[in-house]
Amino acid sequence: MVVPLAARWVAAACGALLVLTAWSSVIGTLIVPRLVGSWLTRWADMVVLAAYRLLTRGVADYKTRDRILATQAAAILLTQLAAWLGIIFAGFTLVLWPFAGRGLAAAFTDAGSSVFTLGFAEPQGTAPAALVFAAAATGLVIVALQIGYLPTLYSAFNRRETEVALLNARAGVPAWGPELLSRTHYAFDSGVSTLDTLPELYTRWERWAADVAESHTTYLPLVRFRSPLRLSSWVTSLLAVLDSAAMILALAPEHAPTVPARLCLRGGFQCFRRIARAMGLQMPEEADPEAGISLTYEEFLEGVEQLRQVGFDMTRDPSDAWPDFVGWRVNYERAAYAIAAAVDAVPARWSGPRRQPTPPIAPFRPPLGRPRRTP
């Protein structure tokens, strides 16, 4: 069947639009320092997420799921690259079609030889030659940009994971807010409370939250980069820091570093909300104070009991502190739970449900130590 020349020119116009679409997606994803929506990258993400959801659907054991999901971020990056090159390939095939005397198959060969810089086919004529040069440059630049994109991703990943790793000794693995406060007070059986280190901790995590919010909304695949430790996660780590700040403000306001804790809480819930919205999760601009939280009062009392075991000085009764704790947690719980479920973060305590029902994992903690000898 011979396709009329006019129809081939219409196809060439459609091919040019495909090339422009791919370039718009590449520039928005790899160059522009903000989240720029692209149907092409969203489609690639959805395909990968659907495939991994299918793979992990029947896997009840979290350790096995984590091992499978460890490759998810890499699969997203490779799928994005394949999508860009595929769209560019299809686009230049259609653009070259009107100039191909042997039909669509010849245009397909010329485009493939150019986009993938193989160079085994060279069409005759000035216009086709210019188009194959443009196709070759496009394929080469996209691959080079993707390669140059990786150091930026891993630099942001390393900054994120450094603080997460440092938190493991203070908040346990997996991290939990009451564990952070109790270990900081207990201070490895030193006999001296180290709550005076909390202002520095909250200041660091306020800056950490700002950094993560900026990098993870600009380079969205970072959200699904999993921590090197199986029971560690950036989501549950930030949640533990925010819960510790909310607890000390509610239970022991006289001992709380009020300004650093409040700033950390604000930076943390803004981080969670920005990332949740970038992931396409429905989040309100401001939390509804009347909405309440999913965490129950009984679970809160379990955290209080953890503090009592190490002699933490609580100046308020838990029943009086509970409304204040709810008032803080309502700002970040919904976004934190949604992100934790979406990335299947480690099921730490107070971190919400997962797609696969998994019981919460309590943090591993060292023994309280030997009792001191009295002279």
The pLDDT tens digits for 277-298 are: 999 998 888 888 888 999 999 9
- Answer yes or no: is pLDDT of 57 > 60: yes
- Alpha helix positions (H), the chain: 5-30, 39-56, 62-69, 72-96, 104-115, 126-171, 177-186, 198-218, 234-251, 258-278, 297-309, 318-329, 333-343
pLDDT digits (tens, 9 = 90+) for 300-344: 999 999 999 999 999 999 999 999 999 999 999 999 999 999 999
- Answer yes or no: is pLDDT of 224 > 50: yes
What local confidence, expressed as pLDDT, does residue 159 receive? 96
Residue 103's pLDDT band, with cuts at 50, 70 and 90, is: confident
What local confidence, expressed as pLDDT, does residue 1 receive? 57
What local confidence, expressed as pLDDT, does residue 368 receive? 54
- What does pLDDT average to over the chain? 91
pTM: 0.90
What local confidence, expressed as pLDDT, does residue 373 receive? 47
Class of residue 290 by CB neighbours under 10 A (exposed 0-12, middle 13-18, buried 19+): exposed
pLDDT digits (tens, 9 = 90+) for 161-194: 999 999 998 999 999 999 999 999 988 667 788 9
- Point out the least confidently predicted range of 155-159, 182-186, 233-237, 370-374: 370-374
List all residues 6 or more positions away from 101 whose beta carbon is below 8 Å from its beta carbon. Answer: none
- Answer yes or no: is pLDDT of 88 > 70: yes
Average pLDDT of the segment spanning 205-232: 96
- Answer yes or no: is pLDDT of 370 > 70: no
What local confidence, expressed as pLDDT, does residue 374 receive? 40
Say if CB 220 and CB 279 are below 8 A apart.
yes
What local confidence, expressed as pLDDT, does residue 369 receive? 53
pLDDT digits (tens, 9 = 90+) for 124-166: 788 888 999 999 999 999 999 999 999 999 999 999 999 999 9
- Answer yes or no: is pLDDT of 236 > 60: yes
Average pLDDT of the segment spanning 24-28: 93
Amino acid in position 96: L
Average pLDDT of the segment spanning 55-60: 91
What local confidence, expressed as pLDDT, does residue 372 receive? 46
The residues spanned by each domain of the chain are 5-148, 172-343
Residue 367's pLDDT band, with cuts at 50, 70 and 90, is: low
Q: Which of 325, 355, 363, 311 is nearest to 337 (CA)?
A: 355
